[in-house]
Every structure is written in C-alpha cells, then in structure tokens.
Structure 1
C-alpha cells in the first residue's frame, strides 16, 4: 500500500544529509540560504507568482515557511529542509510535487532544489538526487521527475547527468532549462 506523503511526511537520511519537513523553527538558519544572492540565481521560481525566493529578514522567511505549511496541508507540495548530518547545518530546502495540469506534463513530478551557494556542489546535489531517485517516484506516484538547472549551474548539471537526468530540450509551459528522469 502506497503511503500518503501528505498524511505523514517521511524523513529521509543517507550518509551525508537528512531531509525533514521544513518548520518555522528553522527560519533563522534557512535565511542563510534565501538571503544568499549567489544562491538565488539557481532557484527554480517558475510559476511561483513572482516570488524570487530572495529573503532578507527572518520574518519574511517565516512567512514563506508558513505558506509552505499551508501548501502541504492543502496537498500542493512538500518542502523538506536539507541538513548536513555531521554538523547539523541547514543548507537549503527541496520541494517536490506531482503536477496536475491539462498539458503534456500532467502527472509529472517537479523537484526544486534550493541550496546555499557554497553547497551548490556535486557532492551535495548527488546526495539529494540519490534520495529523490530512490523515493520520490513511488511517494508521489509519478513516472517522470522534472527539475531545473540553468546553463551556468554546471555542478548541478553534472550531478543531474550522473544521476540519469537528461535535458528536456523543450519548454515546460513557458519555462526552459529543465532536465527529466524517468522511473527505472
């Protein structure tokens, strides 16, 4: 029987990172990621109503997390905090959801990865993708996962290729720079 991510949000852990549902308690630590101008360039804000995810106050970060909680409660998406196991540092978040739309990408998963710029490195992205690839296809009942990587996100692109994502080579809605992986 398939577990429902919106009834009980799982915690994922591998040797290097832990993914746990984001809470407002983490706002101060996550602000390091969301106030990082270098990091924001790599975030996927496609179809997010103009939010670029650049936040400069704890209050604004808390507002964002409260919206993420609202979205979870209404089954729109799940946002997990990425924590380094050895230091307990919160280095960013990931979001995942099953897209429901009347287009060719209906029922595809969309994965968003937001990392502090100093962690926009293959070794961290590899660990995130390892967890996503092992769990998110079944958890979200999707056959394909889409994720964005702009052309100058070279480390992210290398990780995506290493983890069997390939360029989509067309726009998703009106947005470009997507990679796709199909369930094995």
Structure 2
C-alpha cells in the first residue's frame, strides 16, 4: 500500500458524489439513511453480530458513528460519508476493509454501500464503484473487492455489472448475493 488509509483518510470527488471520512458531525444527516425502512434491506449487515443498521434515534446513530470512529482508530475498517455534490446532502455511507481468508478470496476487500432509498440509483452507485475501482485495490492492498446486492437491488446490480463486477454464483462465508471484481 502506497499510503496508509488509517493515518490519512483520503477524500474522493466524482461527478455526483464526494466521499470523506465519516465524523460526529454527520450523525443527524445519516439518521435519514439509517432510519429509512426501504433502504435497510439493501444494507450489507453480514457478519455484523446481528446489527441490521436500522437506527431510529439520534442516540443509536451516535453510537454507530462512535463505533465507526473506534474501528478506524484501530484499523478495522474505514467509513466514508457519501455527500451529494449538488446539494451537500449526506445521503449514506460506504465501508471498506481488507480481510484475509483461506481459499478463493484471500486478500479480498469488502465494500459495503448504505444509501437512502431515494438515492439507490445506478449513477450514484457507479460513482462510488468508480472510486473503489480506481483507488481501493492499492489503498487496502487487496486483489478482489466483494460487495453485496440482493436480487431486489436492481439499480445496484446494474451499476455493479456496468462497473465490471460479476456475481460469485455461490455462498461467501455462508451468505448469498455477493459480486466481485
């Protein structure tokens, strides 16, 4: 890795969105995403100790952001806030981390994408995937990026396919619906 993402977290700007490290100042705006009942089923909560990321209070959202900051400080994963460029609205987050395992997906990265349902659209997701495709392999020292898209996530699946991701066509750690690139 040429840069250490845990020492200096980069900011990425694309046509529609900007990604910057999630912080305490994002809590109120992010509650709109994590309280969105239409969005929650699209989040990847696999292997998250039962947390479904459906938060309906400021206190619970604050605890989540505190945990994300703790996790960053301890080099577990990075959470970026997704900011819509034309309005500066914070519409969700993404998470990325390097994981090692035996088998086909050794040295892989997991990309989680959490967006308000009204922003779960192909063009926004493609901007996120453009950042991942351009920077995350080197930044996280991974050979493969995996991300989840349930069959109902039609816009996400279109974005994944147009960005070069393919369905793995089997379970990944006992979970379904993963795509890789």
RMSD of aligned alpha carbons: 1.0
Aligned counterpart, 1:70: 70
CA distance in 2, matches of 1:164, 1:14: 18
Q: How much does 1:100 deviate?
A: 2.4
Q: TM-score normalized by structure 1? A: 0.96
Deviations 1:46-98 (A, max 9, x none): 00000000000111101000000111111110000000111000000000000
Distance 1:106 1:98 in 2: 10
Which whole-Å CA distance do the structure 2 matches of 1:71 and 1:101 have between them?
Answer: 20
Residues 105, 172 of structure 1: 8 Å contact kept:
no
Does 2:151 match 1:154? no
Structure 1: state its 5+ residue gaps.
none
Contact kept in structure 1, 2:82 and 2:91, CA below 8 Å? yes
Q: Structure 1 residue 16: deviation in Å?
A: 1.4
Taking structure 2 as the reference length, the TM-score comes to 0.97
* Paired position in structure 1 for 2:60: 60
In the aligned structure 1, how far is the partner of 2:133 from the partner of 2:39?
A: 23
* Pairing 1:10-159 to 2, within 5 Å after superposition: 10-159=10-159
Paired with 1:77 and 1:135, the residues of 2 have a C-alpha distance of: 15
Runs of 4+ aligned residues of structure 1 deviating over 4 Å after TM superposition are: none
Alpha-carbon distance in 1 for matches of 2:120, 2:15: 18
CA contact (8 A) 2:93 2:115 kept: yes
Output the CA distance in 2 between the equivalents of 1:130 and 1:4: 20
Question: Contact conserved, 2:105 with 2:144, CA < 8 A, in 1?
Answer: no
Cα deviations by residue, 1:79-122 (Å, 9 ceiling, x for unpaired): 00000111000000000000123454231010000000000110
* Alignment correspondent of 2:180: 180
Deviation at 1:159, TM superposition (A): 0.4
How many residue pairs match? The answer is 181
Aligned residue for 1:92, secondary structure, equals strand
